[in-house]
Amino acid sequence: MAVVVETKELLETVIASVVAGVGITVVFSVGIWGAARFADLSRAERPLAAAAAAAAAALAGLITAAAVVFGVVIMSSK
């Protein structure tokens, strides 16, 4: 009998998509939070905390960019 839908592969794709979608959304929101905290803490003259928030925002930005590049590489290789 012919297989119309590869259920296992479809389920793996759905799970990977959900995990990646939620994960990148959380990382990007941490970046936005870090940028906002940086602005607030800079105005409050708290340079160490502002630097930590800026580092969190920068790291989140790098992770987001890396995920986008990874996704483009994966999509173009198939």
Chain-centre distance of CA 76, in angstroms? 20
User: Is residue 16 domain-resident?
Assistant: no
User: Is residue 60 domain-resident?
Assistant: yes
User: Is residue 57 domain-resident?
Assistant: yes
User: Is residue 17 domain-resident?
Assistant: no
User: Is residue 65 domain-resident?
Assistant: yes
pLDDT, one tens digit for every residue, the chain (78 residues)? 677 888 999 999 999 999 999 999 999 999 999 999 999 999 999 999 999 999 999 999 999 999 999 989 988 987
User: Is residue 1 domain-resident?
Assistant: no
User: Is residue 52 domain-resident?
Assistant: yes
Output the pTM of the full model.
Answer: 0.80
**b/e sequence 6-33, b meaning 16+ C-beta within 10 Å:** eeeeeeeeeeeeeeeeeebeebeebbee
Number of domains in the chain: 1
User: Is residue 54 domain-resident?
Assistant: yes
Q: Which residue has the tokens 């990007």?
A: 28
- Furthest-apart CA atoms within the chain: distance in Å: 71
